[in-house]
Amino acid sequence: MAISKRLKDLFEDKGVRYDVEKHKELFTAQEVAASEHITGYEFAKVVMLKCDGELVMAVIPAPYAVSLVKIKKLGYKKVELAHEEEFKGLFSDCDTGAMPPIGNLYNIPFYVDESFKQEEEIVFNSGSHTETIKIKIVDYDKLVGEEVYKDISAPPAK
């Protein structure tokens, strides 16, 4: 599956320039980052959560884990990881697990880890396990808005 029409239309509508990179089929964020020769801190992985029964997207750097404690502090009573069966139908134009980190594109509430603000560019799955998109972080901000940035990740265990 290639970059979705929905994603292309969003980029065009917002005037966002993007680069598409192709790679062999990969399934983990760290593998994709390594294949693209970038740090995992530039690669956005999507983690789907159930927060008080509602699906919520968390966008974090590849080496990090989402902090359920920090998500809960955003005002939720119950936070847990969502199972693939619970969300795969929401992203009909994407390979399962390769959705882009733009929740508003799918009318899903979402949060983006504030650590991305330190990066110049952000790289993420295009909706496929064989393509990524690279855009400037200022353009990503145009797509998602400033209010979605929160402290939601936990650094990797050492």
What is the tens place of the pLDDT at every residue in 45-104? Answer: 999 999 999 999 999 999 999 999 999 999 999 999 999 999 988 998 888 888 999 999
What CA–CA distance (Å, rounded) separates 29 from 45?
6
pLDDT at res. 157: 65
pTM score > 0.85 for this model? yes
Residue 36 has pLDDT above 80, yes or no: no
Q: Which domain CATH number covers 104? A: 3.90.960.10
Domain that holds residue 36: 5-154
CB 14 within 8 A of CB 142: yes
Number of folded domains that form the chain: 1
Of residues 6 and 32, the one with the higher pLDDT is 6
Q: Are 33 and 134 in contact (CB under 8 A)?
A: no
The torsion angles phi and psi of 147, rounded to 5 degrees, stand at -70, -15
20-29, 30-39, 104-113: lowest mean pLDDT where? 30-39
